[in-house]
Chains A and B, each alone.
Chain A
Amino acid sequence: MQQEVLLALLAKEPSHGYQLRARLRDALGPLGDAMNDGQVYVTLARLEKAGQVVVERAAGMPDRPDRKMYALTATGQRRVSEWLTEVSWPKPDLAEFHLKLLAAAAAHLADPVAIVDAQRRELLRRLRDAQRAAMAEPRESDAALLLEGITLRLQADLRWLEACERSWTKRKTSPRGER
């Protein structure tokens, strides 16, 4: 679990680990199912060590992890603020696939169009899974919004595969020669 995410969840109010987990579940819907509860506690322990969260123990309660109340420190607070203004964005890794097609064609190892077809089948299966999951969520829920992001990205990738297919089909029928 990304450290900044947990810090940001604590910015609203000090919380127990299980409360953080519940809020993540709500925000992620079915995508949160893969989330390991242990990850939350491991990350919280790291943040505590780094001085970004402090632990408040409820008096008279046995010292169990689920009894700990976590709160942001000033350092933690600062890190959240910085994170909110960051503009990083996950990079799609398209170059690898692009180079795969070029290499397959150059060495006559495989038909690029067949590679594109296989890739499209895989993406369509993912789109199908994402769409099924989206339909199972209430329309206006947080999880539905996240799933819409997935389906839109997959559609964009599928459109690119169409462009690849067009281009490689054309090259097959009218070879441009070696370059």
Chain B
Amino acid sequence: MTETVTESMLRARGLGKEYGKGDSLVRAVDHVDLDVPAGETLAVMGPSGCGKSTLLHLLGGLDRPSAGELWLAGQRIDEMSERALAAVRRDAVGFVFQSFQLMDELTAVENVELPALLAGRAPRAARRRASELLDQIGLADRARHLPSQLSGGQRQRVAIARALANEPLIVLADEPTGNLDSEATLDVLELFESLHRAGQTLVIVTHDARIAATADRLISMRDGAFVDDTRLTGGTAGSLSALVGLDS
């Protein structure tokens, strides 16, 4: 088999996940192929139960596939030992969840530095990086606040900063705006945009059309399979005026 010249950041071949057996067999992810080039923002959309969250868990090594092969930055990760996979999850993948998953008893800056400390970084370096990240997301003045003292949008931004603590190769987000109002959603969208501009590879599973619209590429998923794969860049810029009745 010939390899393509441009290496995908993420590459899956025949990736599948099945639950149950016999009549109750569910193909949550049904043998999909996927290539995510470095620097791309990919959105995966689909109705609930279509398998998009399961897919994201497989891609990030949170769950093991029942079929197929998976590479992260050229490294095969589906066959790895549990220990090696844990290291990949910690060092190379940043996760963002719908419910933020911050540690309630830690301050914002402590939450953000935690992955770096777990990866064995020096406390001082970890703190410096965490402070920089909080500054980047506009929450430097909230560094010593507990999650309970932050709004939903601020918590999600802290969670995104935490996902970036170890400078991951890829950030995987599962319904990151699912619990946010429209104002906070815009904050998160802006943050994703700036990550994208900085060259971060992003895969976002969502049913929020606003997120999907900021992606370079959109995959629609149904019953565990990809049914549509579209580039969203380019297109019809400049037609906005027509949308508010100003074109005549």
Q: Which residues of A contact B (CB under 8 A)?
A: 28, 30-35, 90, 117, 121-122, 124-131, 133-135, 139, 146, 148-151, 153-155, 158-159, 162, 166, 169
6 cross-chain pairs, A with B, having the tightest CB-CB distances, nearest first: A125-B235, A34-B241, A127-B213, A128-B213, A158-B209, A124-B213
- A124 contact set on B, CB distance < 8 A: 209, 212-213, 218, 232
Assuming the contacts A28-B246, A154-B209, asked whether A117 and B228 have C-beta atoms less than 8 A apart, the reply is yes
B interface bracket (residues with beta carbon within 8 Å of A): 20 to 34
Please state if A122 and B236 are interface contacts (CB–CB under 8 Å): yes
Assuming the contacts A124-B212, A151-B210, A155-B210, asked whether A130 and B241 have C-beta atoms less than 8 A apart, the reply is no
Tell which of B57-65, B78-86, B169-177, B185-193 binds the partner: B185-193
- B222 contact set on A, CB distance < 8 A: 169
- A153 contact set on B, CB distance < 8 A: 243
Q: Which residues of B contact A (CB under 8 A)?
A: 47, 182, 186, 189-190, 193, 209-210, 212-214, 218, 220, 222, 227-228, 230, 232, 235-241, 243-247
- B235 contact set on A, CB distance < 8 A: 122, 125, 128-129
The smallest C-beta distance from A46 to any residue of chain B, in angstroms, reads: 15
| Majority secondary structure, B binding face | mixed
Q: How far is the CA of A127 from the CA of B47 in the complex (A)?
A: 19
Assuming the contacts A117-B220, A135-B190, asked whether A130 and B240 have C-beta atoms less than 8 A apart, the reply is yes
- A139 contact set on B, CB distance < 8 A: 186
Please state if B244 and A135 are interface contacts (CB–CB under 8 Å): no
- B238 contact set on A, CB distance < 8 A: 34, 129
- A135 contact set on B, CB distance < 8 A: 186, 189-190, 193
CB<8 Å pairs between A and B, sample of 21: A28-B246, A32-B246, A33-B241, A34-B241, A35-B241, A117-B220, A122-B236, A126-B239, A127-B209, A127-B210, A128-B214, A128-B232, A128-B235, A129-B235, A129-B240, A130-B240, A131-B210, A133-B240, A135-B189, A146-B244, A150-B240
The smallest C-beta distance from B214 to any residue of chain A, in angstroms, reads: 6
- B244 contact set on A, CB distance < 8 A: 28, 31, 146, 149-150
- B240 contact set on A, CB distance < 8 A: 30-31, 126, 129-130, 133, 150
- B182 contact set on A, CB distance < 8 A: 148
Please state if B246 and A134 are interface contacts (CB–CB under 8 Å): no
- B189 contact set on A, CB distance < 8 A: 131, 135
- B232 contact set on A, CB distance < 8 A: 121, 124-125, 128
Please state if A31 and B246 are interface contacts (CB–CB under 8 Å): yes
Across the interface, A125 reaches (CB within 8 A) one of B47, B236, B245, namely: B236
